[in-house]
Amino acid sequence: MKLEGTFVAMATPFTSDDQIDEEGYRANINFLIENGVNGLLAAGTSGESATITHEEQKKLIEILIDEAKGRVITIAGAGSNSTAESLDLVKFAGEAGADYALVITPYYNKPQMHGLIKHYETLNNNTKIPIIVYNVPSRTGTDLTSETIVELAKMDNIVGLKEAVSDLEKFTTTFKLLKDAGITDDDFSILSGEDGLTVPMMSLGVKGVISVVANIDPKRMSEMVNAALKGDFVKASELNYELYDLMKALFVESNPVPMKEALTMMGKPSGDLRLPLVPLLDEDREILRKALKDANLI
């Protein structure tokens, strides 16, 4: 399956007694598929991976695979700040039948670049499922260098990168170094991890997005990305501007707080957040509500 297009970093809905809302999760999966997305990610940051247990993480992956039934690409959130834990989760994702495993750079312990290479090399050498590396320095405290990305891209099972940085020059550097190393788009795909910068990133060679906003407006996000993939950046830019206020509102406080409240406002399964995340401040809730109304989503 080609790693390009719109992939949704799904929310994890909870019941009133703080259990995974399986029925609601399945409903959200079908809503997103019906609105044209290319793939779905279970148990990522947007799915509150920091506060779900490994058992819940595995359950979410299993539900996603079962409900998707091959209709879209399935991606399993499988990262940790421990290589041993990451290896267990990546192996589980492969055995469960996920198409890809998304593996965040280890957080808090701030490994060196050569430590990160060893981390991913261990996963690469001991699993078979294709792996997407996730670089999000604003959350992890570690930023993969372009040179390190190239070294990871040389590994057989490392097939992609979710890059959540705003430095467009870094993308240019990374793509040039990949080209110089003889690594093509067919070998290694880079996906945006920043909804609001997806269109300019795609003009540089990025193949799509793993999106928060697509939880709320999957149809327009998919149309935007598809237009950019076809080289129609006029249409892609128009859709980007249509989505701009919504994109800003969905990050008015830490993700996934606004996104889960938006789902609730839309009548979609969501449930409460797990501490230490708490509901939006009143003034931010009104910003979000206005953005949803202006986008004709409520």
Exactly one of 162, 170, 207, 260 is catalytic; which is it?
162
Known catalytic residue at 162: yes
3-state SS string for the chain: CCCCEEEEECCCCECCCCCECHHHHHHHHHHHHHCCCCEEEECCHHHCCCCCCHHHHHHHHHHHHHHHCCCCEEEEECCCCCHHHHHHHHHHHHHHCCCEEEEECCCCCCCCHHHHHHHHHHHHHHCCCCEEEEECHHHHCCCCCHHHHHHHHCCCCEEEEEECCCCHHHHHHHHHHHHHCCCCCCCCEEEECCHHHHHHHHHHCCCEEEECHHHCCHHHHHHHHHHHHCCCHHHHHHHHHHHHHHHHHCCCCCCCHHHHHHHHHCCCCCCCCCCCCCCCCHHHHHHHHHHHHHCCCC
Exactly one of 25, 100, 120, 134 is catalytic; which is it?
134
Known catalytic residue at 268: no
What positions carry a catalytic annotation? 134, 162
